[in-house]
Structure 1
Amino acid sequence: MKAVVLGLCSVLLLAGCEKQAAESDPIRPVLSVIVQPQAQASLGRFAGTIEARYESTLGFRVAGRIARRWVDVGSEVKPGDTLASLDPADQRNQLRAAEGDLAKVQAQWINAQADARRQQQLFDRGVGAQAQLDAAQTNLKTTGASLEQARAAVAQARDQLGYSELKTDHAAVVTNWQAEAGQTVSAGQPVVTLARPDIKEAVIDLPTYLAEQLSAGLKFEVASQLNPSINTTATLRELDPQADAATRTRRAHLTLTATPESFHLGTAISVTLTSTVSPRSELPASALLEGDGPPRVWVVDPQQNTVATREVKLLERTPGSVVLSSGVQAGERVVTAGVNSLKPGQKVIVNEEDPR
């Protein structure tokens, strides 16, 4: 009986000691963050520019020496505006020569008409020969054909004179000159490049490895480098098939969902690539509790202000963070500092971690 009483006392004494030890655990202040699941994964940020989707390079349709450039790079032009002009001396001389040939053929045609009428009258009175009438009519037809040819030559010479002025047929912005005043150019040689400002796109250069992974699920966030609050989204329109030999990058052309007014041609932009992924949570690397068994984190009970460990599945690790695919839910608070000095059920004082 005495042994039973002593054993019971020992059990009560041990329980009291454990309770006292538990009650003596200090309330520990901890840093923590709120779990925010992510459905988008960032693939990187790249610098780019706003450019015109449509550009055209113009040249003179005739050869000659450039007499004047009428507009400079950056100038806005309207349909019909003159961009540059050649020295028109050669074209004017060709026009004068063609007009002289036309006058000559017109005189011959008038004589051929008169001769054909005269031979017809003589033949009708019976004093003219059939052979002379046929010859006169043949000469009239030949002269008429020469007259049409001379008129066409004059029209062509006038066109050649008009081609000595380089004009635009659409509204555009001058982006580049490939020839200077005084320079002799051949027909069709590139002289000036025009960009149409009504349809713009974003252009960036991507590393080859990333360009090969582009898919329909990618999302492009486009923002002005000077004012990131001015932004829009974009989709991939075209990817250059070959990489640049010097930079080993491939140029991507992006169609803008909306074009802010401040997105002028040449505006420097920052493009962020994101891709839709399965839900995941990113936490500071210091939140992970590792040792024997699977990795865990401390989750704070908001009602009791106590902590408990939770097993998590690690998806990705970087020097400063870890990405979890499961184990924590949106809105839960996870301890991020002092994880090795906590005990299950221990009370804590929660301080949010500085997001910086």
Structure 2
Amino acid sequence: MKQLTLILVTSLALIACSKEEPAPEPVRPVLSIEVTSEDQENLGRFAGTIQARYESNLGFRVPGRIARRAVDVGAEVEKGALLAVLDPTDQQNQLRAAQGDLARVQAQWINAQANARRQQALFDRGVGAQAQLDLAQTDLKTTQASLDQAKAAVDQARDQLNYAELHTDHAGIVTAWNAEAGQVVSAGQQVVTLARPDIKEAVIDLPAGLAERLPPDVVFHVAAQLDPEVNTTAIVREVEPQAQSATRTRRARLTLAEPPAAFRLGTAISVTLSSAIAPRIELPLSAIQEVDGKTRIWVIDLQNQTVQPRDVSLVSRDEQHVLLEGGVQPGERVVSAGVNSLKPGQKVKIDEDSAR
């Protein structure tokens, strides 16, 4: 009897061991992303340069041939500095001619004075005629007017000679030359561009459509292209009223809040436009799943390392991203890829790179 009992117990044990236990659910590695809330809308990034707000296009006040240029592009000049010189031959000849006319008129004026005094003396002694005295005095006045005119002509010729030298009327930096030595220029023709470096601004070209719908609270973030750590903010000073026909862009000039010292004239910059918006959540398109007409995401329980589906509402979507109206909170972590192969409560392993 004891032997039979032992056989039965052994058989039951063997039968129990023969039943296969269900395999545990495999742990699935997933890519994930931490949910963040955005309150700024990025309107685009554009390249531009730092330019002077005030520029002067200078030219000679008289025509002539440029004899030499005294400075090159990029030179810093003080007020009154010499920029260029014309060949002064024509102006010198005009001055000599005016001085010759002045000497001739001065001789005539001296003679007219003597004649007027002589006629006055004769008239006072009673031997001179009134008509002769009147004629002498009239001649003196006419000669005096001619003398004044000759003196003015000399002064004008001297000024013309001085105008053969082009000087700055304020301190600045030479940014462009539009004429070379040996070139003949007319009076007032633009020869050199002089920029004032004390007030700088950022200059960019915006698409015409964006320029027309810029939000009133738009913020411009300006950074040097070679060193993004050098940056500041800016506001719009002016936007050209008409778009350029070739590029369909409108030039915008921005007033810099606190221009860094590294923002020199001509510095290449990158300008990012942003505007304040209602808080929203943006996720990659691969993070959502469409099931029975509903949109859901998979939220990771970081403590238990499991996932659960959650229904969400979309505001908009494009080829790469979706905007959510709600359903998830900033700081939560959701699966960003492979959502179609997950099950509720499934164990997952967060990829180390995506968890950073």
Contact 1:28/1:348 (<8 A) preserved? yes
Aligned to 1:248: 248
Question: TM-score, length-normalised on structure 1?
Answer: 0.85
Q: Is the 8 A contact 2:32 2:355 kept in 1?
A: no
Q: Which residue of 1 aligns with 2:277?
A: 277
Cα separation, 2, equivalents of 1:352 and 1:213: 42
Give 1:100's aligned amino acid: G
Residue 44 of structure 1, CA deviation: 1.7
Amino acid at match of 1:282: E
CA contact (8 A) 1:33 1:353 kept: no
- The SS at the match of 2:189 is coil
Q: CA deviation at 1:214?
A: 2.0
Q: Distance in 2 between matches of 1:313 and 1:204?
A: 38
Task: For residues 129-168 of structure 1, give each alpha carbon's deviation from its aligned partner in whole angstroms, at most 9, with x where no partner exists.
Answer: 2222222221121111111111110110000000111111
Matched to 2:122, the amino acid is L
Q: How does 1:313-324 map to 2 (within 5 A)?
A: 313-324=313-324
Deviations 1:326-346 (A, max 9, x none): 222222332324434445555
Aligned partner of residue 219 in structure 2, secondary structure: strand
How do residues 30-69 of structure 1 correspond to structure 2 at under 5 angstroms?
Answer: 30-69=30-69
Which one-letter code corresponds to 1:101 in the other structure? D
After superposition, residues 185-204 of structure 1 pair within 5 angstroms as: 185-204=185-204
Tell me the equivalent position of 1:257: 257
> Partner residue of 1:11?
none
Q: In 1, distance between residues paired with 2:355 and 2:304?
A: 25
**Unmatched segments (≥5 aa) in structure 2:** 1-21
Aligned to 2:14: none
* More displaced 10-residue stretch of structure 1: 111-120 or 294-303: 294-303
Question: Which secondary structure state, in structure 2, belongs to the residue aligned with residue 210 of structure 1?
Answer: helix
RMSD: 2.6
- Tell me the equivalent position of 1:17: none
More off after superposition, 167-176 vs 125-134: 125-134
1:256 CA drift (Å): 1.3
CA-CA distance at 1:85 after TM superposition:
0.7
Please name the residue that 2:151 is paired with. 151
% same residue: 68
Deviations 1:82-129 (A, max 9, x none): 111111111111111111111121222222222222222322232322
Mapping of 1:14-33 within 5 angstroms? 30-33=30-33
Residue of structure 1 in register with 2:70 after alignment: 70
C-alpha separation between the residues in 2 aligned to 1:294 and 1:141?
Answer: 107
Deviates further, 343-352 or 196-205: 343-352
Match of 1:163 in 2: 163
1:215 matched residue in structure 2: 215
In the alignment, the residues of structure 1 paired with residue 183 and residue 28 of structure 2 have an alpha-carbon distance, to the nearest angstrom, of 82
Range 55-64 or range 289-298, more displaced: 289-298
Alpha-carbon contact 2:240-2:251 (below 8 Å) kept: yes
Question: In structure 2, what is the Cα distance between the partners aligned to 1:355 and 1:282?
Answer: 17
Partner of 2:237: 237
Q: CA deviation at 1:249?
A: 2.4
C-alpha contact (below 8 Å) 1:82/1:166 kept by paired residues: yes
Q: Which residue of 2 aligns with 1:325?
A: 325
Does 293-302 or 258-267 show the bigger shift?
Answer: 293-302
Counterpart amino acid of residue 274 in structure 1: S
99-108 or 313-322, larger mean C-alpha shift = 313-322
1:37–1:281 Cα contact (<8 Å) kept: yes
Give the partner amino acid of 2:126. G
TM-score by length of 2: 0.85
Q: Any idea what SS the aligned residue of 1:295 has? A: strand
Q: Distance in 1 between matches of 2:253 and 2:142?
A: 60
The verdict on how the C-alpha distance between 1:244 and 1:325 changes in structure 2, with shifts beyond 3 A counting, is same
**Once structures 1 and 2 are overlaid, which stretch shifts more, 248-257 or 34-43?**
248-257
AA matched with 1:118: R
Give a deviation string over 1:236-261, Cα, whole Å, max 9, x none: 22222333333332222222112111
Checking the alignment, whether the CA contact within 8 Å between 1:36 and 1:281 is kept in structure 2 is yes
3-state SS of the aligned residue for 1:245?
coil
Q: How many residues align?
A: 336
